[in-house]
Amino acid sequence: MAAGFHSSSASIGRWRGEDSSLATDVRDIAERLHAVHRPLFAVATDHGFGVTDRGTATVGDDASEGRPLLAVAPASPAAQLGDHQFIRDHGMKLAYVAGAMAGGIASAELVEAMSRSGMLGLFGAAGLDLGEVERGIVRLSTRLLDRPWGSNLIHSPYEPALEAAVVDLYLRHGVRLVSASAYLGLTLPLLRYRLHGIHRAPNGEVVVPNRVIAKVSRTEVAEKFLAPAPESMLRELVGSGALTQQQAALASTVPVCSDLTAEADSGGHTDNRPAVTLIPSMIALRDRMCHDLAPEHRPRVGAAGGIATPQSAAAAFAMGAAFVVTGTINQACLEAGTSDEVRRMLAEAGQADVTMAPAADMFEMGVELQVLRRGTLFPMRARKLWTLYREHASLESMSDADRRQLATVLSAPVDEVWSQTEQFWAQRDPAQLDRAATDPKHKMALCFRWYLGKASRWANAGVTERRADYQVWCGPAIGAFNEWTRGTFLEAWTERRASAVALNIMHGAAVLTRVASLRAQGLALRSDHVDIVPRPLGTLQELSL
């Protein structure tokens, strides 16, 4: 089958080799394009064009012998995508990060799988108690040793003591990388982590041992991370003994973040920003703010939100992303710290099967997160709780009808819910109960947060009797992922391994990047020339790394 006609006037030089090596059939061309670890020449034939990885190509007008050369694509495996310094700094092979989905969804098992495959996994510490966090990071540090991994540090505006305690834990165990998420502004615990151990090396370079990848969706928040720590906060850290005067002086020369993730429309906490505008804006902001920094301190900008297919990853890299971060699709993998029932629900979801609902950790502020809508009543029930919270000053001020409706939403008597809430906060943060004793609105918020917090744990644990209340953090990316994998081995949730998913996305992105390069040279490649169908792990490892 002829691939399509190209005149020799479109040539960029000449190719010399055996005509028998030229692939002209659609399937053969797709196979050659797929082998991104080998160079590719596109050559004019009598009836169109063919592609080959053999022979000799000469580019330029002075080339006269051989067939017209139409385009050239060098070997371009997935390992070449993204920022090479980012890859080296973190000890990775691919610029791919599995994000820190909270509640241990980004489990230690998931982090290990990513790390052993040459990628970076971030442990989902947010929402776990300190004991669970400690067990997770001890396991990872013990089993992964020098392999890449990190953990989450989430902004906790209503539990500042918890945020500080998590930082203490990370410093005590030598955790060298955190993903800072949901921050509205900088906090002292975050800065204490980032600047711990900062010093000047013998060669004069400022060394900051602890790395922070800030996940942001707003430029005003990104500005705070891309700038050095504010002097007022540095003075507080010096005053508390967390930093010396010399360390504070060094801190004024480096940005708060070592890298930055531009988070577009995603599962969980999100501002639903479009990636095509957010990523370039964040890169431009970084360039304006950090152009005078030494290369070793210049933050790289990665992309998160909607990364679920080779197309989305290739687009992010094409816009200049140094790395890509996945979230929702990791939750659908076998290594994720969630239930098989959730994995089944995610495997059936489409792009429109998501919605926004109140968030447990920032409920009183009206902050929302994106969740799965299909197969669960959680979004509707959570919004009802927010309505009741806005309309009433206390639980006691509700009408009998509202209290009955509340009991229906909670699926438990209000008094029973409050009793469980008291037990929880008595262990976690007794100050919350002291405040609730004098502030009935806060008591109501704690009761409602009981449901919001429990709903995600019911989903992760697969509590059958609370299936209607499952809170599954999910972005529209899951629908795109399901569409891409339909009809392949990855369609079945029982086959979804994190490393297989990641390698297929990255290898497919490399194929699409090669295709874009050839098309930019004028080669008329059709869609059926492009093969990014998911393949089993063993067939990709050699091609991608």
- Give the domain ranges of the chain: 8-75, 80-338, 345-469
Q: DSSP code of 120?
A: E
Q: Which pTM was predicted?
A: 0.93
pLDDT tens track, the chain, 545 positions? 344 444 434 789 999 999 999 999 999 999 999 999 999 999 999 888 999 999 999 988 776 788 999 999 999 999 999 999 999 999 999 999 999 999 999 999 999 999 999 999 999 999 999 999 999 999 999 999 999 999 999 998 878 889 999 999 999 999 999 999 999 899 999 999 999 999 999 999 999 999 999 999 999 999 999 999 999 999 999 999 999 999 999 999 999 999 999 999 998 888 889 999 999 999 999 999 999 998 899 999 999 999 999 999 999 999 999 999 999 999 999 999 999 999 999 999 999 999 999 998 889 988 899 999 999 999 999 999 999 999 999 999 999 899 888 999 998 888 899 999 999 999 888 999 999 999 999 999 999 999 999 999 999 999 999 999 999 999 999 999 999 999 999 999 999 999 999 999 999 999 999 999 999 999 999 999 999 999 988 777 666 66
Among 179, 185, 163, CA closest to 215: 179
Candidates 290, 299, 292; CA nearest to 258 is 299
> Please, which residues bridge with residue 118 across strands?
none
Among residues 250, 102, 125, 107, which one has the least CA distance to residue 177?
125
Q: Structurally, what CATH architecture does the domain formed by 80-338 represent? A: Alpha-Beta Barrel (3.20)
| DSSP at 473 | B
CB 56 within 8 A of CB 17: yes
Smallest Cα–Cα separation from 88: which of 344, 275, 295? Answer: 295
